[in-house]
Chains A and B, each alone.
Chain A
Amino acid sequence: EAGVAQSPRYKIIEKRQSVAFWCNPISGHATLYWYQQILGQGPKLLIQFQNNGVVDDSQLPKDRFSAERLKGVDSTLKIQPAKLEDSAVYLCASSLGSAGSYEQYFGPGTRLTVT
């Protein structure tokens, strides 16, 4: 079974530029998550989708971050404009359902450096 796919793996941009990340979850997984992981910390949830609907985006900085999952499968996360503090690894995860009992499966992440 294929795992969660993410691209690109690495991205370097200058502040105020825009960037987009792509994620393809495990087939059949209804729930998709985007996390931000700053160096030395645990992942922090940015947004959670159930199929193509948003169920939690309370920690997403909506003035600069946006995400969509139009057909309930793959998803994109965009940052516009980027700030220095956005430098982090962006992880995508998926699970069969959104209940707390389901384990989440993570992709390899995209390491973003903002200069």
Chain B
Amino acid sequence: AQKVTQAQTEISVVEKEDVTLDCVYETRDTTYYLFWYKQPPSGELVFLIRRNSFDEQNEISGRYSWNFQKSTSSFNFTITASQVVDSAVYFCALSEAGANSKLTFGKGITLSVRP
């Protein structure tokens, strides 16, 4: 069975601070995919990134960066120089390879960025 743990429930930072959101996963598969989604107050989940289990290269996209470490089963997300618009709930999710694979979400981390 697959599982995603987001131990942090709420984080509050002041604008321009850097913040890291942690994600730990469990799976028995050797091929799997990890995702991060953002859910702003409007409610719609927005896809941010997908990573496959064979690609441990860290990724940077503007102020966002992701650190994937198979040795610790972690896929952490860092926002550099946070902004008020980053305030949202962030979900980490895992799916295993193969047809009809299910996406399992963590409980989410509520990030509040104060001006």
Interface residues on B, range: 20 to 34
Q: Is the CB of B45 closer than 8 A to any CB of chain A?
A: yes
Digitize A55-88: 1 where CB-to-B-CB distance is under 8 Å, 0 elsewhere: 1100000000000000000000000000000000
Q: Is the CB of A99 closer than 8 A to any CB of chain B?
A: yes
Distance from A10 Cβ to chain B, minimum over Cβ atoms (Å): 10
Instruction: Report the count of interface residues on A (CB-CB < 8 A).
Output: 27
* Interfacial chain A residues near B52, Cβ < 8 Å: 101
Partner of A103, one of B43, B50, B97, B102: B50
Residues of chain B at the chain A interface (Cβ within 8 Å): 4, 32-33, 35, 37, 42-47, 50, 52, 91, 93, 95-103, 105-108
Residues of chain A at the chain B interface (Cβ within 8 Å): 3, 33, 40-45, 48, 50, 55-56, 89, 91, 93, 98-101, 103-109, 111
